[in-house]
Amino acid sequence: MPEQGNTGSDYIVGRHVFANLYGLDKEKLWDEQYLRSLVEEAVKRANASLVEMKSWRFGGKHGGVSVLALVIESHVAIHTWPEYEYATIDIYTCGERSDPWKAFEYMLNELKPKYYIVGYADRSSLYISRGGRAELAKTNPLQEVKHHY
């Protein structure tokens, strides 16, 4: 990942928010343009830098829409299954200046799931290299689950 996001640290900061959303509006989940706009705004809210955005619409029994935003800091993605009123969100950012939680909260508020399960992983480097030897930089990866009713 680029150096520009790691100001002030001698290790890599990586934060990964991922979620399953249930009880969503089927029309929103089929609306590719709406989902592209949602992801684009989520990128801005995360203070990330958009490189490119791609989207796909899949038909059939398990069809839906996928939107992927490649950002300098990593990625923001949503995958939908309208038939099941279900979607997954994946937001991974590297660097201290970007915040995946801001993107997640925005997407959550816009999509309004009946409930959701969210996970978080600290993807930061645990070791740094100093003069050819590795030292522990930080610890404490966190995993949490939240339910929203």
Q: What is the pLDDT of residues 59-112, one digit of tens each?
A: 988 899 999 999 999 999 999 999 999 999 999 999 889 999 999 999 999 999
Q: Are 115 and 22 in contact (CB under 8 A)?
A: yes
Residue of 16, 37, 94, 125 marked catalytic: 94
* Residue of 89, 92, 90 lying closest to 111 (CA atoms): 89
Residue of 74, 75, 98, 129 marked catalytic: 74
Fold observed for domain 10-136: S-adenosylmethionine decarboxylase (3.60.90)
Q: Catalytic annotation on 74?
A: yes
What kind and span of H or E run contains 75? strand 74-81
Residue of 55, 62, 79, 124 marked catalytic: 79
The string of pLDDT tens digits covering residues 14-68 is 999 999 999 999 999 999 999 999 999 999 999 999 999 999 999 988 899 999 9
Predicted TM-score (pTM) of this structure: 0.79
User: In this predicted model, which residue has the larger pLDDT, 123 or 119?
Assistant: 119
Q: Catalytic annotation on 124?
A: no
Q: Catalytic annotation on 79?
A: yes
- 19 torsion bin: left (phi>0), alpha (psi -120 to 50), beta (else): beta
Query: Domain extents for the chain?
Result: 10-136
The CA distance from 70 to 99, in Å, is 15
